[in-house]
Amino acid sequence: MAEGARTVLIAAALAPLPLLAAAAWNAEAEAARGPGSAVVSVRDGNLYVGARQLTSGGADREPDWSPDRRRIAFVRQAPGRRSSSLYVIRRDGGGLVRLTRGNQVVSMPAWRGDGRLIAYAASPVAGGSFDVWTVGRDGGTPRPAATGPAEQIAPSFTRAGRLAFRTLEPGEPFPEKTSDAGTPQTGPRELLPDFDQRAPFRLTIAGTRLG
C-alpha cells in the first residue's frame, strides 16, 4: 500500500465520530447544492426538493425556503374546504408544524432574514380583503402587520428586517408561486452540522466522605 494511502486510512480511523459526521453532512450539503436540487417546487399539489418528495395529499402550494435552507414554509388547503393554513417542514420532510388555524385563506409566506419570523397574507373565508400577518417560526399567536380595506398581499422583508408588502389594484390578477430557489441570506446563519444530543444513560454517582 502506498504511504499516502496508509496515512489517509490511519487518519480516518483516528478521527472522532463528530468530525466524520460533519464531513458526511458537508458532502450531503454540497450534493444538495447541485443543479436544480436546491429548488423547492410544487408538483400535483405536493412539495419536492429536486426529485425528492416531501409531502403527500395534493393540497400544498406556495413554498418558501428559510434563509438557512433548513426549513420550508408553505400553504396547505384543508381537505374539502376553502380554508388553508400556514405550515413549516424541514428539508428532509420531518418536523411538520402548523402555524395558523381558523376559517381563513392563507397565502404567500415569506421569511424574515433571521429565520425567526414568517409573514403571510390572509383573508376570512366568509369574505373580506387580504391583510398581512406575522407569526413565529415555531408558532405562537399571529399578529396583524398591515390591515385595511385594500388587498394587501405579497409580504417580504428588507435586508434591515423591515416588512414590505404589495397592494393589489382592482382587476389585477392574484400572483401565484409554484417554486422557490432560495431566500437570500440576510441575517445570522445557524452553525452546522446540528447534532441532536443523546440523553445521559448508565450514570454512576460517586461521593466523597468528608472528615
Whether omega before 193 lies within 30 degrees of 0, making that bond cis, reads: yes
Tell me if 128 sits within 8 A of 104, measured CB to CB. Answer: no
pLDDT of residue 175: 85
- CA-based nearest residue to 58, from 36, 78, 39: 78
- CA-based nearest residue to 85, from 97, 69, 72, 71: 97
pLDDT tens per residue, range 158-209: 999 999 999 988 888 888 899 999 865 544 444 445 444 555 555 555 555 6
Tell me if 152 sits within 8 A of 121, measured CB to CB. Answer: yes
Share of the chain above pLDDT 70, in %: 69
pLDDT of residue 205: 58
Q: Enter the pTM of the model.
A: 0.71
Distances (CA, A) of 138 to 155, 159, 161: 19, 22, 18
Task: Report the distance separating Cα 114 and Cα 99, nearest Å.
Answer: 18
Residue 14 has pLDDT above 90, yes or no: no
Grid cell listed for 137:
417560526
Cα dihedral 156, 41, 54, 51 sign = negative
Dihedral-angle region of residue 182 (phi above 0 means left; psi in -120 to 50 means alpha; beta otherwise) = left
Q: Binning pLDDT at 50, 70 and 90, where does residue 34 land?
A: very low
Residues 6+ apart with CB under 8 A from 72: 40, 47, 49, 54, 63, 64, 65, 66, 88, 89, 90, 91, 180
State the CB neighbour count (10 A cutoff) for residue 37: 12
pLDDT tens per residue, range 145-155: 999 888 999 99
12 sits in which H/E element = helix 3-14
Task: Report the distance separating Cα 110 and Cα 167, nearest Å.
Answer: 16
Q: Binning pLDDT at 50, 70 and 90, where does residue 100 land?
A: very high
pLDDT tens per residue, range 103-126: 999 999 999 999 999 999 999 999
Task: Report the distance separating Cα 113 and Cα 67, nearest Å.
Answer: 6
Give the three-class secondary structure for 23: helix
